Amino acid sequence: MPGPYFARLRTAAAGSFFPLIALIAALVLMGVLTYQGSGLVTITAPSGMMSLQQAGDTKTATEIVECWTTKAGTEACWDAKAATKTPPDKLNQAAAIQVLLDFPFIVAYAYLFFALGCAAARYASYRGLGRLARFATWTAAAALLAGCFDVIENIGLLSMIWFTTQPPLPCLTTLASFAKWGLIGISYLASLVTLLWPVRQTAL
C-alpha cells in the first residue's frame, strides 16, 4: 500500500478546502494556457504546444521548434490563426512561457484528481466495498504519477525549445506525454466507476 506521505495527502484532501482551491486554480490556469498557447499555432504546429508534445521524432520536432525560434522559420510557416496573438519575434519566449505556466497547472490538476480518487475510496469504504476502496486508492496515486510524467514531459519540451531536438528527447517527451494522458484517464474513469458502483441488496 502507499506510504505515510501518501496517507498525509489523503488526510489533507478530506474535509478541507484544498480540492476546491485546486479546482479553481486548474480552471483559471487552463483558460490562461489555452489563450496564451493559441499564439503558438503554426503550419507545422497546428495544435500549438500539443504538436510538440506528440512530435515523437527529431524531424518533426525540429520543424516545429524552428518555427518558434527563428525569424526566418516563423515567416515561412506562419499561421494566420496566430497572427493576432504573438509577434513572430516573440514566439520562442511564448513557447517557453507556455511550458513554465504548465508547472502550477500540473500541481492543481494532479491534486484535484488525487482528491477525487480519495473521495471515491472513502465513499466505497463507507458502503462496505473494501476491494473497490483499495482500487480507488491506487487510482488516486495514479493521478500523482501522471503529474510526475507531466513534469518529465515539460523538461523535455523546454530542452527542445532552448537547446536541442536531437534524439532521444522527442521520443522520450512523447512517451512521457502518452503515459501522462493514460494515467489521467485511468484515474478519472476509475474514480467515476467507484463512485457510481451499485451496492448489491441482500435478500431478507
Report the number of distinct structural domains present in the chain: 1
pTM surpassing 0.95? no
Q: Residue type at 198?
A: P
Q: Give the separation between CA 26 and CA 113, rounded to whole angstroms.
A: 11
pLDDT of residue 114: 93
Does 122 reside within a domain? Answer: yes
Buried b or exposed e, range 121-146, using 16+ CB within 10 angstroms: bbbbeeeebeebbebbbebbbbbbbb
180 burial (CB, 10 Å; 0-12 / 13-18 / 19+) is buried
Torsion, CA 54, CA 169, CA 85, CA 41, rounded to 10: -30
Bridge partners for 42 per DSSP: 78
pLDDT of residue 69: 80
pLDDT of residue 124: 87
Q: Give the separation between CA 130 and CA 134, rounded to whole angstroms.
A: 6
Which residue range forms the structural domain that includes residue 69? Answer: 8-196
Q: Cβ(153)–Cβ(102) under 8 Å?
A: no
Does 90 reside within a domain? Answer: yes
15 φ, ψ (degrees, to nearest 5): 65, 35
**How many helices and strands, by DSSP H and E, does the chain display?**
8, 0
Does 204 reside within a domain? Answer: no
Does 1 reside within a domain? Answer: no
Q: Cβ(194)–Cβ(156) under 8 Å?
A: no
What is the DSSP code (8-state) at residue 78? B
147 burial (CB, 10 Å; 0-12 / 13-18 / 19+) is buried
Q: Give me 20's grid cell.
A: 476546491
pLDDT of residue 73: 60
Does 79 reside within a domain? Answer: yes
Does 146 reside within a domain? Answer: yes
Does 184 reside within a domain? Answer: yes
- pLDDT digit of tens for each residue in the chain (204 aa)? 455 555 555 555 556 788 899 999 999 999 999 998 888 888 888 899 999 999 999 999 999 998 888 765 666 676 555 544 566 567 888 899 999 999 999 999 999 999 999 888 888 888 888 888 888 888 889 999 999 999 999 999 999 999 999 999 999 999 999 999 999 999 999 999 888 887 665 444
pLDDT of residue 86: 60
CB proximity list for 197: less than 8 A, separation 6 or greater: 124, 129, 132
